[in-house]
């Protein structure tokens, strides 16, 4: 097995196609992404050439059918690719994750034949997508939307603000959730497809973040944006179903990011402790350090198996909501814990940007927050358990 992917448990039984994509993503991450990580983190933006390379490699349309110029792959293939990319840089990992597990999957599941024909080839080959649900007062209470859509002839007029939108700076296509009837509650929510350049559509403030700094997170302003009715994804008033079901899948993608972060931090810690000498020998020779590495490896393996299990269930068409929530909750805990322990093992060097583990630690924190906070995952798990 490729040494870059040797940490993946044989219990997961990757198919030949899955292993090939896994190896390709690992090699791309090492040779193309890693030399740019520090510079992109400092500049807080993705390298434009890297974005083009992602399309050229087929990483932005893994599950899109070949008839739409995609890779014709599977959900699990997206997950292992996201993991390998995030092992080197989670900023780039979330860039491709949003495209594959949220935007592309929403089109594949809810798009009409016309919408698929119009947009899937673009998403597979050249256009970045963004998923626009959150607002200032609509975070964990995801359906407390204020963004409105008013019917006007053969179109809807959108007004409002969206916050914390990943990929907003790079995206050309935006899935925007707005309500056509505030009095109808969640049953008024509808998913609209907006395109960069539409009159009244603008990208505003870019957030200055703790971690995943190269990933753009921006505010969107909608001022009388005219969206033709043929740009509705799903049905009017059924946007809540698009959001819920897509986010359920997206949480497995976040889990893949988190185990990628944990693996990257763990790999760095193993390499450092076998090289760093104190008291005349490598610090990895000391039992205290060995125990820490063993704990890190065990936690990481448990998290990976939860994520892979949720992905396999989803792919098999089996119920996976509880397993997805468990995977996201636990993997985000593990990413933070393992990366923090890696900083400890590096000592003073772990606290400076010259070494990689401080970035893994910063990047890990978002896992407990976006696409459903840890408390929301626990609530979901508990509800399912109590329902029997």
Q: The domain spanning residue 143 has which CATH number?
A: 2.40.110.10
**Claim to verify: residue 89 and residue 33 sit in the same structural domain:** yes
Asked if residue 4 is part of any domain, the answer here is: no
Query: Mapping DSSP to helix (H, G, I), strand (E, B) and coil, where does residue 202 land?
Result: strand
Asked if residue 3 is part of any domain, the answer here is: no
**Claim to verify: residue 124 and residue 36 sit in the same structural domain:** yes
| Total structural domains within the chain | 3
**Claim to verify: residue 278 and residue 231 sit in the same structural domain:** no
Task: Provide the pLDDT for residue 13.
Answer: 80
Q: How far is CA 384 from CA 247, 378, 381, in A?
A: 17, 10, 5
**Claim to verify: residue 199 and residue 149 sit in the same structural domain:** yes
**Claim to verify: residue 278 and residue 324 sit in the same structural domain:** yes
Q: How far apart are CA 133 and CA 142, in angstroms?
A: 7
Angle, nearest 10°, between helix axes 287-315 and 75-86?
A: 150
For 161, the enclosing helix (H) or strand (E) is: strand 155-166
pTM above 0.85, yes or no: yes
Task: Provide the pLDDT for residue 12.
Answer: 63
Q: How far apart are CA 134 and CA 141, in angstroms?
A: 9
Asked if residue 6 is part of any domain, the answer here is: no
> Quick check: 191 and 130 in contact, CB under 8 A?
no
**Claim to verify: residue 219 and residue 257 sit in the same structural domain:** no
- Which of 237, 259, 274 terminates a domain? The answer is 237
Positions annotated as catalytic residues are 371
Task: Provide the pLDDT for residue 3.
Answer: 40
Asked if residue 1 is part of any domain, the answer here is: no
**What b/e sequence results for 228-252 when a residue is b if at least 16 CB atoms lie within 10 Å of its CB, and e otherwise?**
eeebbbbebbbbbbbbebbbbbbbb
Asked if residue 195 is part of any domain, the answer here is: yes
**Claim to verify: residue 166 and residue 180 sit in the same structural domain:** yes
Q: How far is CA 19 from CA 5, 10, 134, 256, 312, in A?
A: 9, 11, 35, 15, 15
The CATH code of the domain that includes 368 is: 1.20.140.10
Task: Provide the pLDDT for residue 143.
Answer: 84
Query: Mapping DSSP to helix (H, G, I), strand (E, B) and coil, where does residue 93 land?
Result: helix
Asked if residue 2 is part of any domain, the answer here is: no
Asked if residue 140 is part of any domain, the answer here is: yes
- Which of 237, 264, 295 terminates a domain? The answer is 237
**Claim to verify: residue 204 and residue 293 sit in the same structural domain:** no
The CATH code of the domain that includes 76 is: 1.10.540.10
**Claim to verify: residue 152 and residue 250 sit in the same structural domain:** no
Tens place of pLDDT per residue across the chain (388 aa): 344 444 445 446 899 999 999 999 999 999 999 999 999 999 999 999 999 999 999 999 999 999 999 999 999 999 999 999 999 999 999 999 999 999 999 999 999 999 999 999 999 999 999 999 999 999 888 888 999 999 999 999 999 999 999 999 999 999 999 999 999 999 999 999 999 999 999 999 999 999 999 999 999 999 999 999 999 999 999 999 999 999 999 999 999 999 999 999 999 999 999 999 999 999 999 999 999 999 999 999 999 999 999 999 999 999 999 999 999 999 999 999 999 999 999 999 999 999 999 999 999 999 999 999 999 999 999 999 999 8
**Claim to verify: residue 337 and residue 272 sit in the same structural domain:** yes
**Claim to verify: residue 249 and residue 382 sit in the same structural domain:** yes
Task: Provide the pLDDT for residue 142.
Answer: 81
- Which of 237, 264, 293 terminates a domain? The answer is 237
Asked if residue 21 is part of any domain, the answer here is: yes
**Claim to verify: residue 201 and residue 226 sit in the same structural domain:** yes
Q: How far apart are CA 72 and CA 68, in angstroms?
A: 9
**Which residues constitute the domain of residue 214?**
130-237
């Amino acid at each position: 097995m490729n040494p870059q992917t040797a940490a993946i448990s044989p219990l997961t039984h990757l198919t030949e196609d899955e292993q090939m994509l896994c190896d390709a993503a690992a090699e791309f991450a090492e040779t193309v992404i890693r030399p740019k990580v520090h510079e992109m983190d400092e500049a807080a933006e993705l390298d434009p050439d890297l974005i083009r390379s992602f399309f050229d490699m087929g990483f932005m349309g893994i599950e899109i059918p070949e008839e739409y110029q995609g890779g014709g792959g599977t959900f699990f293939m997206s997950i292992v690719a996201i993991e390998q990319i995030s092992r080197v840089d989670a900023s780039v990992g979330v860039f491709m994750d949003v495209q594959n597990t949220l935007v592309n999957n929403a089109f594949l599941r809810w798009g009409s034949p016309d919408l698929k024909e119009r947009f899937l080839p673009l998403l597979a080959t050249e256009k970045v997508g963004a998923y626009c649900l959150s607002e200032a007062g609509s975070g964990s209470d995801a359906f407390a939307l204020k963004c409105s859509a008013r019917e006007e002839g053969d179109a809807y007029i959108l007004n409002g603000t969206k916050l914390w939108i990943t990929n907003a700076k790079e995206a050309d296509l935006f899935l925007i959730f707005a309500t056509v009837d505030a009095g109808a509650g969640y049953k008024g929510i509808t998913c609209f497809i907006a395109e960069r350049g539409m009159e009244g559509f603008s990208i505003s403030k870019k957030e200055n973040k703790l971690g995943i700094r190269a990933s753009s997170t921006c505010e969107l302003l909608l001022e009388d944006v005219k969206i033709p009715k043929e740009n509705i994804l799903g049905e009017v008033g059924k946007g809540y179903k698009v959001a819920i079901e897509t986010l359920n899948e997206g949480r497995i993608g976040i889990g893949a990011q988190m185990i990628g972060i944990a693996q990257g931090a763990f790999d760095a810690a193993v390499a450092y402790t076998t090289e760093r000498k104190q008291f005349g020998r490598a610090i990895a020779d000391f039992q205290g350090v060995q125990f820490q590495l063993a704990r890190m490896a065990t936690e990481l393996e448990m998290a990976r198996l939860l994520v892979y299990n949720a992905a396999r269930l989803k792919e098999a068409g089996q119920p996976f909501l509880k397993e997805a929530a468990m995977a996201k909750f636990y993997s985000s805990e593990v990413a933070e814990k393992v990366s923090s322990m890696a900083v400890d093992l590096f000592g003073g060097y772990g606290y400076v940007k010259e070494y990689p583990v401080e970035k893994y630690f910063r990047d890990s924190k978002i896992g407990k927050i976006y696409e459903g906070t840890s408390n929301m995952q626990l609530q979901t798990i508990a509800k399912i358990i109590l329902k029997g």
